[in-house]
Amino acid sequence: MSDSRANLLPADDLESGARTAPAAPAPARSNTMASYLEQSRCERRIPFRPRTIPTCEPTSSLLYPSSRSSHPIAVIFFLAFRTGALLTYLFGTLFTKNFALIFVITTLLLAFDFWTVKNVSGRLLVGLRWWNEIREDGTNHWVFESAAPSRKNNPIDSRIFWTVLYVTPLLWVILTLFSLFTLILNPEWLLVIAVALSLNIPNVYAYTQCDSDAKRRWATDLATNSVMGGGGGAGFLGRVVSQGVGSWFSRG
């Protein structure tokens, strides 16, 4: 008997004389494995880039004085006394109608500001200090001190100090003009402004002169020690050059 199952094969198989079994179905991959393989292929194609978290930098040092300051406490008190005196003068009548009380509070804040700027703020923020001596003959003698040139002042502290030092008297001058135009209504407020200007202008003048004196002395020392150092004619020429540089800065 012949085997009838041989006729069930395809014709091509019969002609080639080979009998092939049907291919087994591929095992189904789980969703987890497929996701892992897809992620691996993506990581090989795309280079790794670490994510960085953006930081919020302050846009103005005057709005955030203590963010990058070397002496934040000194900056805070330097701004607090000056701002407090101005705010008390401008808005004190909203809380009380007693002019004497407003005058006393404003004067105290101005006095605290004068002492703080003269003895603390200038020394810490810009490395300068001044005082005035009265000699036996009755004349005034200004004494200026400055830190060594090797000291690097914080630019934030320096910018705040010089900006506020010059802007504050300007604001009091503007208030003076405003009070003059309204002299009939409130002439007593000129007394407050007079006290404010008398306690602000000395610091402006003294620190301006102190800064100029420090630059003159630094330039003189640099010309003497670095450029024309030595004895004899070189030493004499060095003194001439240093005096010329010093006189140039003193004129400024």
At residue 177, the pLDDT reads 87
Q: Where are the beta strands (DSSP E) in the chain?
A: 128-134, 140-146
CA 100 to CA 77: how far, in whole Å? Answer: 25
Predicted pLDDT of residue 196: 96
Query: How many Å apart are CA 188 and CA 176, to the nearest integer?
Result: 12
From residue 146, how far is each of 61, 217, 235, 243 by CA, in Å? 24, 10, 26, 19
Q: Distance between CA 165 and CA 118 in Å, rounded?
A: 11
Point out which residues pair with 130 in neighbouring strands.
144
CA-wise closest residue to 75 among 163, 199, 203, 13: 163
Answer for the pair 124, 192: CB distance below 8 angstroms, yes or no: no
pLDDT, tens digit (0-9, with 9 covering 90-100), for 147-184: 887 788 899 999 999 999 999 999 999 998 888 877 65
- Three-class SS state of 168: helix
Which residues lie across from 131 on neighbouring strands?
Answer: 143
What's the CA gap between 119 and 122, in Å, rounded? 7
pLDDT value for 233: 44
Query: What does the pLDDT read at residue 104?
Result: 96
Per-residue model confidence (pLDDT) at position 22: 52
Domain ranges (residues) in the chain? 72-243
pTM score: 0.62
Instruction: Extract the residue ranges of the chain whose pLDDT is less than 70.
Output: 1-67, 183-185, 221-252
